Structure 1
Amino acid sequence: MGERANKRSFTQSGRGGRGQGGGAHRGRGGAKGASPARTSALEAVRILRERDAFAQDVMEKTVDVARLSPEDRAFATRLVLGVVSTRGVLDEVLNRCMRTPHDVTPDVRDALQISAYEILFLDKSPHAAVDQGVELVRGIAPRAGGVANAVLRKVAASKASFPFGNPAADAAAYARLHGFPAWLAARLVSDLGAQDAHELIKASNEPAPLYAAVCAAKATPEVEDEVVADLEAACAAPEPVEVDGARVAGCYRLAGGRALLDGRVKRHIANGCLLVSDAASQAVASLVLPADRPASFLEVGAGRGTKTILIQSNAQRRYGAQVDGYVTIDNHGFKTSLLADRASDYGVHLEEALTGDAARLGEAVGDRAFDVVFIDAPCSGLGTLRRHPEIRWRLRPDVVTDHARLGLSLLESAAAHVAPGGMLAYATCTVLPEENAHVVASFLKGAHGEGFELVPVRGQAAFATRVTSGGTDGHFCAIMRRKAL
């Protein structure tokens, strides 16, 4: 639940420098002498500090619409995502370089974070980063230029000892080196093992791979060929995708986000033939469909409808027709409205789109039973850190436990609405066992789970993808079947 695709492509090093990409830029959060890329990044960083928003959404209204060269836009994107990803570490280092954390105002700290990120994580020239940081600060607080200069020079000097310990032996230093909260890095190592945790931590600081689905609800096989040809013409280099050794029908990996701006590709998206979505998410949308076409299907936690589109697209591809009795439920009315609009755009059939509390499912669906109930559960989202860098510093340990409890409540509520012989599927986009396997095990051991049995997925107890460099996001899906009467 809550999957949001990342359509961006940017370089790891980025490009910048004083005056790059045009003349000076003025405006709120701007700076006369700072580069346009840094100025644009500062505006996005400020908004993200002030609001509980997704970085991708904020950049769509700031960086993406700014008058920037492609190189500057890529660098600004890198700065915003980098600062959001490493914010806690940046604040720690900045605080070390001040007399007290209150030496600067929040908007000045935003500018200092950008320069500190360049110095510590991008290996940019310390001299250039310091100068640009001072210019950023002067643009919003002219009198703070001297303080900014002193603080950033100390940051540059501290680079030699960063991350303030041996990462191979000091867990806190390792977390600091990769811009992670110490508690979260330790939790990942404890839950996943050192190797898988270290792979996830490193991969989470890389650009997210870009995948797209050709949606069969509108795209016939002939149209799919046309979509692929247009992707190739747009230099997207589309490649068919396998996840865990199995082809994901209609899924293609794309070389970069720039192809999505091509007119031919934009037309396919607008026509409902192409949808950006992670490959593991697309795989889940295929796994939750049974061998035979179900008469009824309930999707719990449908959100904006990405999985709805993918599932009905897979139904069209697999059965030659969509599921007639397809019902969705989400607890946010605005998402339900958005889902209905998107379903229409993509040619997806909905019998009903409900708004309600799925932990009390009977209040919304009465005593109805469905051939398939699919729960796309709220979770920490730790499998999607490349796409949602804000998660790592907003998340708290108790929130993980809260998600696990809610997931179990959703399963217990849904159990009564699975028809005899029907399927109950539970999916997340996290990698923590507490939110995944432990929830399913608790359900099966409890009274509500009586009569359900776990169905192996491709020879495993459940579907689960690891987060590795260049690979898919981390998704989990367990499938259970209610015994027939």
Structure 2
Amino acid sequence: MDSNRRASSREHAAAPARRVALEVLVETERRGAYTREVLKSSTAYRQLDSRDQAFAQRLALGVTATVGCLDDLLNQFLSKPGKVSPRVRMALRIAIFELLYLATPSEVAVSQGVELVRSQASAAAPLANAVLRRVAEGAAGFLVADDAAPEHRAVVRAARRSGLPVWLVRELMASLDGGCFEALVGSQLEPAPVAFHLHPACDAESLVVDSPSPFPGCVVPAHPGALLRSGLLDTAHAVASDEHAQLVATMVTQEGSCLEIGAGRGTKSFVIFAQARRAGIEGRRHVAVDLFEQKCAQNLERLHAAGFNDVRAFAGDATDLSSVLEPLDQGGAPALFDVVLLDAPCSGTGTMRRHPEIPWRLNRSDCQRDLPALQLSLLVAASARVAPGGSLLYATCSVLAAENEGVVDAFLASEAGSGFQLVPVTEAPLFQLEAYQGARELAAGAMTARGMLRTSPARSAADGHFCARLVRLS
């Protein structure tokens, strides 16, 4: 009898991938961490076979990306939502994610959800069974927003279909044309493509066979596993970087000195140096600025490992470049640069597929007020470092107009911006070279009527990025 009971328990236990996903999500929430980082550090995750790893990752990232929508539906069927323990709620979220967004048969999602809850609190299993069965019955109606007022139904439907907050969907609708908006929300829960930029000396031909190369150095493999396993990223022979992010970095590359603000760990820095070497540009001077010392150190370590040595990095608040760049300023005169890139901190709404935490950690005031104010302050500070005739590039990975065109227009209307002129991104120096016609055509296809670059997942599989190019007249 006992052996039969144990066999039955094993038969109906929650699947290993679901249990690992639950532990990862609980730990992520406890630490306020990022789901991908917790997955990478999870011993239990590494012990799964490749198929279960893929499923555990799909569940963990998917629940993170849609958590608010999952709770909206769950709370409809709980008499006391606040009384549910965090672990039980997370187990229920996993089952509801499967019911709403995966093709898991409802009987499997419900039964596995009940077992997942049972593994956390056996007394809660009957509640889980009742709630999940009601969720399964109401899932289709929830997705099409049957419960929303008619005048709001289209927005609520789009929010639930994509797993995004309603307020954010309204912002996206106001910033994107209809086709771009539909494509973005339609692809929100799909995996983002993986692209790489190769070192000019890197011979990776066997790893990138039949991979599209939109411009020199950029490869977008249909199956990136071979390149990821090759060790090229560990030896600074390649970096993982979205195709459109590489396009922005290529747009920055030119002769003379460069100030890169918001350099982070240096992915764009690597691309700029690699493109300069390909184009035969000698004697560049590159200064990288980031708020964090650790990122500056990581940037320098990778660039030096790649053989890119003419670079200095400074940590500090870029709204006060006088303090950050004091070692470069001589006799009180600020050091000026031929090209300045401000890779501004932003909402990251163009990269939400890669960073599932973004939608539910943002709020409306971030996007409408706080970030644009910071971005404008940074742009004004950056503009003071542009040499006469030099270029100022303002870039974000946001698709929201308030952070993009809105900031550029506010800058041009300011005293600091009065000496600058907006010019088409297709006039970037490297784009004039024959070898970079593919990059120029890619930029032209995503250029607005005013000459600014505005990409989104709708235009290609790559991420949403924005870049405006301004030239200092005197």
| TM-score, length of structure 2 as denominator length | 0.86
Residues 469 and 94 from structure 1, CA distance in 2 versus in 1: closer, same or farther, beyond 3 angstroms? farther
Map of 1:483 onto structure 2: 473
The one-character-per-residue Cα deviations of 1:154-196 (angstroms, maximum 9, x if unpaired) are 2112124222535995321331122111111111112213322
Residues 275 and 261 from structure 1, CA distance in 2 versus in 1: closer, same or farther, beyond 3 angstroms? closer
Q: Secondary structure at the match of 1:239?
A: coil
Q: What is the number of residues matched between the two proteins?
A: 432
Paired letter, 1:276: A
Map of 2:336 onto structure 1: 369
Residues 181 and 63 from structure 1, CA distance in 2 versus in 1: closer, same or farther, beyond 3 angstroms? farther
- Aligned partners of 1:469 and 1:377: how far apart in 2? 22
Q: Which runs of 5+ in 2 are unaligned?
A: 1-8, 327-333, 427-443
Corresponding position: 1:256 with 2:223:
yes
Shift of 1:359: 0.3
Q: Secondary structure at the match of 1:240?
A: coil
Map of 2:244 onto structure 1: 280
Q: Secondary structure at the match of 1:275?
A: strand
Corresponding position: 1:417 with 2:412:
no
Map of 2:134 onto structure 1: 154
- Aligned partners of 2:35 and 2:282: how far apart in 1? 37
- Aligned partners of 2:43 and 2:197: how far apart in 1? 26
Contact 2:303 2:309 in 1 (8 A): yes
- Aligned partners of 1:75 and 1:425: how far apart in 2? 40
Corresponding position: 1:227 with 2:204:
yes
Map 1:137-216 onto structure 2 (within 5 A).
137-163=117-143, 165=145, 169-216=153-200
- Aligned partners of 1:123 and 1:111: how far apart in 2? 18
- Aligned partners of 2:460 and 2:115: how far apart in 1? 36
Map of 2:213 onto structure 1: 240
| Equivalent residue for 1:392, pick from 335, 353, 359 | 359
Range with greater deviation from structure 2 (381-390 or 121-130): 121-130
Q: Secondary structure at the match of 2:339?
A: strand
Q: Secondary structure at the match of 2:33?
A: coil
Shift of 1:252: 0.8
- Aligned partners of 1:261 and 1:383: how far apart in 2? 23
Residues 43 and 212 from structure 1, CA distance in 2 versus in 1: closer, same or farther, beyond 3 angstroms? same
Q: Which runs of 5+ in 1 are unaligned?
A: 1-23, 26-30, 242-247
The one-character-per-residue Cα deviations of 1:349-378 (angstroms, maximum 9, x if unpaired) are 243210111001111113111111110000
Q: Secondary structure at the match of 1:205?
A: coil
- Aligned partners of 1:363 and 1:261: how far apart in 2? 40
Residues 65 and 119 from structure 1, CA distance in 2 versus in 1: closer, same or farther, beyond 3 angstroms? closer
Shift of 1:399: 0.6
Contact 1:43 1:62 in 2 (8 A): no
- Aligned partners of 2:44 and 2:408: how far apart in 1? 41
Q: Secondary structure at the match of 2:143?
A: coil
Contact 1:343 1:350 in 2 (8 A): no
Map of 1:134 onto structure 2: 114
- Aligned partners of 2:169 and 2:340: how far apart in 1? 34
Shift of 1:453: 1.1
Contact 2:162 2:188 in 1 (8 A): no
Shift of 1:103: 3.4
Q: Secondary structure at the match of 1:152?
A: helix
Map 1:310-325 onto structure 2 (within 5 A).
310-321=271-282, 323=284, 325=285
- Aligned partners of 1:198 and 1:368: how far apart in 2? 45
Contact 1:63 1:76 in 2 (8 A): no
Corresponding position: 1:343 with 2:320:
no
Map of 1:406 onto structure 2: 374
Residues 102 and 165 from structure 1, CA distance in 2 versus in 1: closer, same or farther, beyond 3 angstroms? same
Range with greater deviation from structure 2 (151-160 or 203-212): 151-160
Shift of 1:317: 1.1
- Aligned partners of 2:324 and 2:356: how far apart in 1? 34
Shift of 1:95: 0.5
Q: Secondary structure at the match of 2:421?
A: strand
Residues 50 and 122 from structure 1, CA distance in 2 versus in 1: closer, same or farther, beyond 3 angstroms? same
In percent, how many aligned pairs have the same letter? 39
- Aligned partners of 1:437 and 1:63: how far apart in 2? 45
Paired letter, 1:271: T
Map of 1:103 onto structure 2: 83
Contact 1:162 1:177 in 2 (8 A): no
Contact 2:270 2:303 in 1 (8 A): yes
Corresponding position: 1:472 with 2:462:
yes
Map of 1:327 onto structure 2: 287
Contact 1:300 1:376 in 2 (8 A): yes
Paired letter, 2:264: G
- Aligned partners of 1:93 and 1:84: how far apart in 2? 15
